[in-house]
A and B are shown apart, each in its own frame.
Chain A
Amino acid sequence: MSSRLSKFVMIVVAFAAFSRYGSAQDNVFTGTEKGVDRIRVAAADFKPLSADSAALKATFDTVLYADLAQAGIFDLVSKSLLPQLTPGAPSEMNVTQWSVNPTNAAMVAFGSVGIKSGRLIVNGWLFDAKNTQYPQVLGKQYAEDANDNSAREIAHKFADEIILRLGGGIPGIAETKIVYVHGGSGSKEIWMMDYDGANPHPVTHLGTVSLSPRISPDNSRIAFSSLGREGFQIRVFSLLLNRMVAFPAAAGTNLSPAWSANGAQIAYSSSRSGDPEIWIADANGSGPRRVTSFRGPDVSPVWNPKTGSQIAWISGRTGLPQLYTMDADGAGVTRMTDGGYATSPSWSPNGQFLTFAWDRKYGPGAPGGQDIYVMEIATKRWIQLTHDTGRCDFPSWSPDGRHIVYASNAGGRWEIWTMLADGTQRHKLSANGANDMPNWSWK
């Protein structure tokens, strides 16, 4: 690896692992984050306040631990290194027991889980283990219906509170969702699951091929493309009404919708003019206008979520598909990739990076494969995130910018995977195959 590249690796790693010192102001190019250790956090098993809460407590402990481990900003202490204690309240907490070896935690999360008259009551605290005098950083109480799903939700909420406090003010993603395509017998439907792969469930029941789901910035609607008698059309499902809502059909093939950051506009590919071009319409489909005009496939637009005024997309105008950026009015077209076969861009929440799928040596018998890459837009420098793990496609950035969800056929079946934005901590979210085209919700 060249030194230039390794420097860029460091930059991306630093970007992915914003510490409490890192923030948007602390420019990723300075490299000042180098060498900053991740905060060492201990997540104690919570104390059961009643015998009947044991099962829900187990769920809560597991989910909270997983959320903090997935956050990508903590050095989470292994459970085997924790003291054999379950402090259920600040009065039962002695932080020095947690700050000494082998636990050696900087922060410790603890609390209690109980069931009172059908309600699941969770008290959670976050203590600074090195501050014996005023250790409390956070104290929260939650009350929900006593069921397994509530235990998961509460754990997600508490984890997000901790991540918000310790993660440079960037909200956590433990309460976010992922929409994706799940193939069945002859059809493909839009499905949704929690960010950690829990609760997978179908959203549409259209009995046809539906692709490219994109959730709106306010989480109220899912736009996607669906095969009808006249070919692929943009369709919209309302998560509030729990049914399809109107989006006008157009001639030709209409594909890959993308919400603008304010939710007011949808960019998509339409061939109504006889050639697939990028079009922009209002969110209800009215006022469509063409943005590109160049012979060849133009598809997969995505807005710059930071500015809302640029679009990255894939164009085959010079042959194999390449990654381009332009202003939302079609001016300032810039080619980003220098060859190969590039598809499926997703724009980072801070507007500085694009992630996309790239097969750099495309062609029959060519070495390598389709992998996930991240490119810094200002410099066009890139880094490869996946290596030799089957074909990878459809990366989608998490709202905190620290994670990327994508689809891969590693292991022979197409599944949804997630990783940190530096390519580490890869793990599979879905099971049973035929899962594709994930899209991370905006919050």
Chain B
Amino acid sequence: MIDTNLAATRVRRNALMALALGAMVLSGCHKKASAPPPAPLPSTATESVPTATLTADPASIDLGQSAVLNWRTQGATTVSIDGIGNVNLNGTQTVTPSASTNFHLVAKNDAGGTTEANVRVTVRVPVAPTADTSNQGDMGPEAEFHRNVQDVFFDYDSYDLRADAAASAQRAASYLAAHPAIKIVIGGYCDERGSAEYNLALGENRANAAENALVGAGVSPTRMRVISYGKEKQFCTEQNEACYQQNRRAQFSLDR
């Protein structure tokens, strides 16, 4: 009897959550839609001079990674890119430069009109912590940060670092050592069970445990800020252990 009631409650709650999730997805889409649309290509009125654009995605990569060049031309008959040679009028090309490279595109038409386009792919070479200071302003893309500085997960009602967490803290510390400009916020989170006030205190202990691990690995505490969110900002809203585990974490993010 009780079980049935619980199940019914759970179903209802899940439905609500699905709704909320739907709303979040919708609002997310809305945000993307509001991004400025790609600039319309100029009309073919200026036939004597072709137009050309050249972009790289991502614009900066780690050594050994690839970037995709993407070019669009209009009114051109031959298009060439230095180091690659003649290419299609519109196209894409994956490149894996070993050092930062300027890609130079030349578009020509029969009338002799010429247009150039440039893009720079920055290649980050791992450097020792004491390496050149020109790198200091480069915080790196968010994705790279999260690849190296991974969230720390905790056991049920515990704020002790697990073995896997200690290892990932070590990795995070070496990444942070290589990028001295990065400052981070450590957010403490709890799953939805338990009581709100206690969870906020527990989240604080979790975030502090993660901070202490980084301090122990040599990261200066002045580069870190700790905020406990308790169960107020749930990452995952389903009621199962997998989801609870997602929420029981210390999350690292760039402090901007």
What residues make up the interface of A, taking CB atoms closer than 8 Å to B?
188, 209, 211-212, 225, 227, 230-232, 252-253, 255-256, 269, 271, 274-276, 296-300, 314, 316, 319-321, 341, 343-344, 357, 363-364, 370, 388, 390, 393-394, 409, 412, 436-437
Contact = CB atoms under 8 A, between A and B. Distances in A.
B208 A298 contact: no
**Can you list the 5 inter-chain pairs with the closest CB atoms, starting with the nearest?**
A297-B201, A343-B195, A231-B227, A276-B201, A299-B201
Contact of A320 (B157, B159, B208, B241): B157
B232 A271 contact: no
Contact of B197 (A209, A255, A275): A255
B176 interface: no
A252 B204 CA distance: 8
B228 interface: yes
Contacts, number: 93
Contacts of A388: 2
Interface residues of B, number: 26
A228 B196 CA distance: 17
A256 B195 contact: no
B198 A314 contact: yes
B205 interface: yes
B232 to A, nearest CB: 5
Contacts of A271: 201, 204, 208, 228
Nearest to A356: B195
B204 A341 contact: no
A276 B2 contact: no
Interface of B is mostly: helix
Interface of B: 2, 9, 12-13, 156-157, 159, 194-198, 200-205, 208, 225-229, 232, 241
Contacts of A409: 9
B235 to A, nearest CB: 15
Contacts of A209: 232
Contact of B201 (A253, A274, A370): A253
B227 A343 contact: no
Contact of A253 (B9, B13, B194, B200): B200
A386 to B, nearest CB: 14
A297 B207 CA distance: 12
Contacts of B200: 211, 225, 232, 253, 255, 299
Given A227-B232, A275-B208, A316 B202 contact: yes
B226 A252 contact: yes
Given A256-B197, A299-B198, A275 B205 contact: yes
Nearest to A185: B23
Contact of B205 (A188, A276, A341, A437): A276
16 contacts: A211-B196, A211-B197, A253-B227, A253-B228, A255-B201, A269-B197, A269-B201, A271-B201, A271-B208, A275-B208, A314-B197, A316-B202, A316-B205, A343-B198, A388-B2, A394-B195
B132 to A, nearest CB: 33
A210 B157 CA distance: 23
B228 A364 contact: no
Given A253-B226, A412-B12, 10 more contacts: A212-B197, A227-B229, A230-B225, A269-B201, A271-B204, A341-B195, A343-B195, A364-B156, A393-B195, A394-B195
